[in-house]
Amino acid sequence: MTSRTGAAPRIDLHTHSTASDGTLTPAELVRAAAQAGLDVLAITDHDTTAGWAPAVGALPPGLRLVRGAELSCRWSGTEPAVPLHLLAYLFDPDHPELVAELARVRAAREDRGERIVALLRADGIDVSWPDILAGAGGGTVGRPHIAQALIRVGLVGSTREAFGPDWLGERYRLPKDDIDVFRAIRLVRSAGGVPVFAHPRATRRGRVVPDELIAELAAAGLAGLEADHEDHSPAERAHVRALAADLGLLVTGSSDFHGTHKTVQLGEFSTGVEAYERIVAEGVTEVASG
Ligand code: AMP
Ligand code: ZN
Ligand code: FE
Ligand code: FE
């Protein structure tokens, strides 16, 4: 595969739209990807496939779309459990068990969001759960939507600040009822999808899992590790690459673009064509072409 210009193709395999906590609609996202000069884009909203159809419907000529999702998982091998994110690519969106599990996690997100808002309100902070839900516009609700409410009342100046320790990063951080990561890998594989561990070493977000667990996940069907991500330091990226090589896993790099909820731009980190082709070969869903 080559790009339209004959240069190495530009591949970004992790982005969010308004179907979860991004700020561009799925149609705007695929147009922005073409404008940014990408050849391949994956749409990977949190715990939903709702953005797939509108993204395909708006796909500009020459852009390929990998349909995916980012699953909210946890590893219960330590107390409290470690939350982690699993990218799932090219799976059957109608697989009943997976559909049910995604719906359950979205409900768990609403439950957690409402409890976070109750904690904030108990401390006299004037944020409203109905307003936050409305702000999510029917997409999967997450802490970035609560962050917007904190910005609206003037308590923080940015999403980044809202994720600080005094706010959603620690003081008002509550766990949600995530999917056991081994179950998630089984479900994604049984739905014909390709599971890749998102930002596995992002220590700046909180606790990370040990390498021994990643080896067990590889044995359970994990296909790859995301190495190049803004939340990894250069040393963490190198570590993830070495671990992937040891375990025979593919390596990806991605922007994790969220529109204006983050500063990272589309295509700021990217994936090599070999890893992309391995994902395509293993997935049951076709890559959509514009
Ligand atoms: P949640 O899925 O509700 O637990 O919220 C996690 C989401 O918040 C991540 O997917 C990111 O989109 C966003 N996020 C996490 N940390 C930060 C940060 N430091 N600054 C901005 N957004 C963040
Ligand atoms: Zn997000
Ligand atoms: Fe993530
Ligand atoms: Fe993400």
Residue 160 Cβ contacting ligand 1 at under 6 Å: yes
148 pLDDT tier (thresholds 50, 70, 90): very high
**Percent helix, percent strand, percent coil in the chain, to nearest 5:** 40, 15, 45
Cα gap 66→63, rounded to integer Å: 10
Strands 194-197 vs 82-89: parallel, antiparallel or unpaired: antiparallel
Residue with the smallest CA separation from ligand 1 atom 5 is 143
Cα gap 35→22, rounded to integer Å: 18
Cα gap 173→168, rounded to integer Å: 5
Give me the residues near ligand 3 (ion), CB cutoff below 5 Å.
85, 198
Residue 258 Cβ contacting ligand 1 at under 6 Å: yes
Of the chain, the end-to-end C-alpha distance in Å amounts to 16
Task: Name beta bridge partners: 66.
Answer: 42
With b meaning 16 or more CB within 10 Å and e meaning fewer, what string describes 104-124? ebbebbbebbeebbeebeeee
Q: Is 8 left (phi over 0), alpha (psi -120 to 50) or beta?
A: beta
- Distance (Å) from CA 5 to ligand 3 centroid: 31
Ligand 1 atom nearest to 204, measured from its CA: 19
- Distance (Å) from CA 15 to ligand 4 centroid: 6
- pLDDT over 90 at 94, yes or no: yes
Residue 236, φ and ψ in degrees, nearest 5: -65, -40
Strands 288-289 vs 194-197: parallel, antiparallel or unpaired: unpaired
Ligand 1 atom nearest to 46, measured from its CA: 2
Q: What is the pLDDT of residue 3?
A: 74
Distance of CA 125 to the CA centre of its chain: 29
- Distance (Å) from CA 286 to ligand 2 centroid: 25
What is the token pair recorded at 223? 């296909």
Residue 262 Cβ contacting ligand 1 at under 6 Å: yes
Q: What is the pLDDT of residues 7-50, one digit of tens each?
A: 889 999 999 999 999 999 999 999 999 999 999 999 999 999 99
Cβ atoms of 71 and 85 closer than 8 Å: yes
Q: Is 56 left (phi over 0), alpha (psi -120 to 50) or beta?
A: alpha
What is the token pair recorded at 78? 């330590």
Whole-structure pTM value = 0.97
- pLDDT over 70 at 4, yes or no: no
Residue 106 Cβ contacting ligand 1 at under 6 Å: no
Task: Name beta bridge partners: 252.
Answer: 226
- pLDDT over 90 at 116, yes or no: yes
